[in-house]
Structure 1
Amino acid sequence: MKIIKINAENPEKEKIRMARDILQQGGTLVYPTDTVYGLAANIFHKKAVYNIYRMKKRSSDKPISICLSKTEDIKMVAQLNQQTEKIIRKILPGPYTLILNRKDDVPSWITPGTDKIGIRIPDNAICRELSREFPITTTSANISGHPSPKSAQEARDELDDHPDMIIDSGPCPGGVSSTVLDLTVTPPLILREGAGMEKLL
């Protein structure tokens, strides 16, 4: 397992390229977000996504959210309308997981048993660079049911040497998991209160 230090505000291009290559080849890595440290796999690599489930000891019937680089990418994986687009423009990028109706070409191993998908666009340059060429998973880098890691060291202690790489940019500024907002219903429904709640009230 590789551990690389990276600049949170201006991530070094060569280090991002190295991390993205690992994901392109079906590897997994730990990375910082604007809330907590997450686990990444290329969503189109079935084995890599299953490795995320295995590392987290997560039930295989629970969906995993995805991270995108920019709001314009959402239309590639989810169905949008004027209302959802207005909300998205208001709060993203930011510490929110938005539940939307997925498009049919989203891999079934990301959304087992559901036609919905969770989407994040964190206010974090590293996330946006990692997901620039393909969507990646975004799920906290911990065993299911355990506290979410706020630092790379906490993530390593939790997952041992199972990920192929850990990207360390220091402690996450948020330290609290994202707020989950269901945009498939009207009015939108808050499924989990977390970071950024004050902006929704």
Structure 2
Amino acid sequence: MPSDTPGDDARTGVDDDAVAAAAAAIGAGDLVVYPTETVYGLGADATAPTAVDRVYDLKDRPRDKPLSVAFGDVETALSLLPAGDRATRFARAFLPGPVTVVVARGDALPPELTDGGSRVGIRVPDHPTARELAAAAGPITATSANRSGAGSVRRVADLDPRIREGVAAVLDGGETPGGRGSTVVDPERGVIHRAGPLVEEVREWLATQP
């Protein structure tokens, strides 16, 4: 059974002890729900194939749909993944923020995240709870906390019962600010895979930066 863990943080409604408990759950191989600046996310240890498999199973997500990965800060992400110069500059320009940056996966993350594909999306959410959790337990999976094909969730009350029962903790930060998923972009290849927040700024950057 999951445990809702509201706290007294005026910014998010989630206190540090709740985040620490959620991070410990992730370290033990469990899944948690956490708030971001867009929608609620489903977090697990992104370096553990068994935990990644649990995310796919809980969401009923097809394996050919890659999972993105959240980090506590940009430099940690860039230190683990072999991002090229253009991707590095793009990430520093747009993260933290509602943008997923696609880079080479390298050897630090398991192939289960991407169905064996060589590229993976990285997130540094513009949300203190998400970054605190990712810093403590990360890298963690960054996928919406909903069943595949269903709408994304901005309030804990709207979580699908299967999701709620399948996680060890729910970090309730209130209603999330944004209702759309992040913009997904591969800056090295100049491709926007999904349009969302800041997409016009992303297009301008891709068009003007070498």
TM-score w.r.t. the length of structure 2 is: 0.88
Matching of residue 93 in structure 1 with residue 96 in structure 2: yes
Q: Distance in 1 between matches of 2:193 and 2:37?
A: 19
| Aligned equivalent of 2:62 | 59
| Aligned equivalent of 1:13 | 16
AA aligned opposite 2:198: G
1:189 to 183, 191, 197: 191
The answer (yes or no) to whether the contact 2:78–2:88 under 8 Å persists in 1 is: no
AA aligned opposite 1:196: L
Matching of residue 138 in structure 1 with residue 139 in structure 2: no
User: Mean Cα displacement is larger for which, 103-112 or 121-130?
Assistant: 103-112
| Aligned equivalent of 1:47 | 50
Q: Distance in 1 between matches of 2:10 and 2:151?
A: 23
1:112 to 104, 111, 115: 115
Q: CA deviation at 1:156?
A: 4.3
Alignment of 1:172-187 (within 5 A): 172-185=176-189
Q: Once the two structures are superposed, what CA deviation does each residue of 1:34-63 show, in whole Å capped at 9, x if it has no partner?
A: 100010001123222211111110112322
The answer (yes or no) to whether the contact 1:30–1:155 under 8 Å persists in 2 is: no
Q: Distance in 2 between matches of 1:96 and 1:197?
A: 9
| Aligned equivalent of 2:172 | 168
Report the secondary structure of 1:174's partner residue. coil
User: Mean Cα displacement is larger for which, 151-160 or 124-133?
Assistant: 151-160
Q: Distance in 2 between matches of 1:138 and 1:36?
A: 10
Q: Distance in 2 between matches of 1:158 and 1:24?
A: 22
AA aligned opposite 1:191: H
Q: Distance in 1 between matches of 2:27 and 2:121?
A: 21
Q: CA deviation at 1:158?
A: 5.9
Report the secondary structure of 2:4's partner residue. strand
The sequence identity of aligned pairs, in percent, is: 33
Q: Once the two structures are superposed, what CA deviation does each residue of 1:74-96 show, in whole Å capped at 9, x if it has no partner?
A: 22332223322221121110001
Structure 1 runs, 4 residues or longer, greater than 6 Å off: none
Report the secondary structure of 1:14's partner residue. helix
Report the secondary structure of 2:55's partner residue. helix
Report the secondary structure of 1:34's partner residue. coil
- In angstroms, what is the RMSD of aligned CA positions? 1.7
Q: Distance in 2 between matches of 1:71 and 1:123?
A: 11
Q: Distance in 1 between matches of 2:98 and 2:10?
A: 16
AA aligned opposite 1:78: L
The answer (yes or no) to whether the contact 1:180–1:190 under 8 Å persists in 2 is: yes
AA aligned opposite 1:4: T
Q: Distance in 2 between matches of 1:147 and 1:81?
A: 34
| Aligned equivalent of 1:24 | 27
